[in-house]
Structure 1
């Protein structure tokens, strides 16, 4: 009798735990009042609406202005005029707030990097990449990783943005992307290379090298990989698109394929609506499980959120609220987020079971916005 009761109790507890997070269907997303969870979000939503990103809504103008000091910078991929502030807040998976047009498809810039790193996790899960500590030259042998420096670069180095890969890809030079404030073209070209893994540098050319390398090992376009393994299973809409550049095409197995970009710094990247961003965030809130389907291994997500030795606020293309230069005081140090130009964010708090998506928020106002959400917790 005791064994029978214990078994029933165990099944009940497992079922209860599985139901802690609600997962929306393809067509229905249940809402709850913030007050249900003792939250008042009025001030935070009002703040997001009043603190719109100060750059132009014509994103071609905003991009060219934002990166005007980079030599040879130009628009090479699609660009789309943006909408106004928009966002969603989920608690336990339920929608507890939304503002703006959450179904409008907009560029999301470097938030794309977190989608890109997810395809790398899929490659590990499928044993397409055996170990992230493997050198990429063992998989990509077309010259991209030739030489005494580049040959030492691992998949982990690319994911943590500390590879210091040196070269040219799609007519873009690594040294021309966000060059140091001091110096000139000659000094940037001839700079001393850092040992892979020792120096963090946010650099879209090197991120695009990762995308190109993953395309080589999957042997099919990364948007198709993401759609099949993540976006379709989580019920994302059919409106999102992931672009590369006009010239970022290669031939694999006789088929012409586009290598996508990891952001919109030169155009391209992920074009997506707010609801689909929230679904993606909810998948990471639940450690890779959607309903009863395991899409990503929990241990891989945990690994992706380990601070790198070269930047304690960065994992595998996720920003971390650990102690460091980007730590936000008053917010939990385990909070992590995807961030993109123009104030695009997916913030995930696994302890409080919150997913917060905000778009076109003045980037310097993120911490103030989050503090308004958490002040009543």
Structure 2
């Protein structure tokens, strides 16, 4: 059995420098502070967090854990990948074809104008949609020129500074407003709250779900078939989002490592997980709401087949098909993530 103790000590020694209670020091918690007023505020609830924690699965079995792996904590943009899983569930149910335009199936929810009606589900999943508009009062330009740690392109402008849009599929940009618009579209497809669908279709079959919550903004509600439902965000940029345990994150990672099949049951359609790992043509470091390591630029010591779910606040779910490993680490200082990956990779290689 590999010895992960060096990696665990490294992680526990380098906690993200955010307060554990967001109410104690709100000016140094979260990522919304980087937005221009009036968008630099929380719009949904947040809660106190635990310390550094994590889990390692090897060949489907838990090989190591540390911290509080059963604690359900906010996971920020790891939730984006969960939207890609829900899109797979919708595809299996005949509710979407990735190549079709969203407007052709869901008119009247923000995809009808001359620019947006060319946007496909695939564009939204690979973050090349260039969707324009306002989602629950948040305009897309709030996230123009957004930079995140694993985006290799040089800065193009100041965050929130409006830029000229390109045709859908022609420009890659990490943009939480557009992700929230994707979530709204999926809600209209399922016609049920996405947290319910995710719990029933993914978490429950995996034996998970304890403490799981997926919460929307205070004012992000829609009425469908006479029922008032929350539209949940694909992260916690402005609050809300997914709270989940490290073990459940590892279970989801194992599902992806197993090509969407658990205990003989296909929870995702054939080929969906492989398609999630296909590099975006104009952003080969990214697949469908997941980060790729094809050239080693993300983490030099991880295998080139490795891929990742990543969230602000130091959240990483690492799937390594070569070693049949799933590695989850939470609340790790992102500046220290390469050192953690190096130590885990060394242990996996033996």
Give the TM-score normalised by structure 2: 0.91
Q: Deviations over 1:230-255 (max 9, x none)?
A: 11100003310111111110011111
Three-state SS of the structure 1 residue aligned to 2:216 is strand
Q: Select which of 45, 51, 54 maps to 2:14.
A: 51
Matches for 1:85-234 after TM superposition, within 5 Å: 85-129=52-96, 131-177=97-143, 179=145, 182=157, 188-189=161-162, 191-234=163-206
Q: Structure 1: give runs of 5+ residues left out of the alignment.
A: 1-34
Matches for 1:285-300 after TM superposition, within 5 Å: 285-300=257-272
- Greater helix proportion: 1
Asked whether 1:78 is paired with 2:41, we answer no
1:63 shift after superposition? 6.7
Q: Structure 2: give runs of 5+ residues left out of the alignment.
A: 147-154
Do the aligned residues in 2 keep the contact of 1:150 with 1:165 (CA within 8 Å)? yes
Aligned residues: 335
Q: Root-mean-square deviation (CA), in Å?
A: 1.7
- CA separation in 2, counterparts of 1:62 and 1:109? 17
- CA separation in 1, counterparts of 2:44 and 2:192? 20
Three-state SS of the structure 2 residue aligned to 1:215 is helix
- CA separation in 2, counterparts of 1:235 and 1:68? 37
Q: Select which of 309, 317, 336 maps to 1:338.
A: 309
Asked whether 1:371 is paired with 2:334, we answer no
Q: Deviations over 1:246-299 (max 9, x none)?
A: 111001111111111000000011011111111111111111111121211341
- CA separation in 2, counterparts of 1:165 and 1:250? 20
Three-state SS of the structure 1 residue aligned to 2:237 is coil
Q: Deviations over 1:1-48 (max 9, x none)?
A: xxxxxxxxxxxxxxxxxxxxxxxxxxxxxxxxxx3xxx1211101001
Do the aligned residues in 1 keep the contact of 2:133 with 2:140 (CA within 8 Å)? yes
Higher mean displacement: 70-79 or 263-272: 70-79
Do the aligned residues in 2 keep the contact of 1:87 with 1:358 (CA within 8 Å)? yes
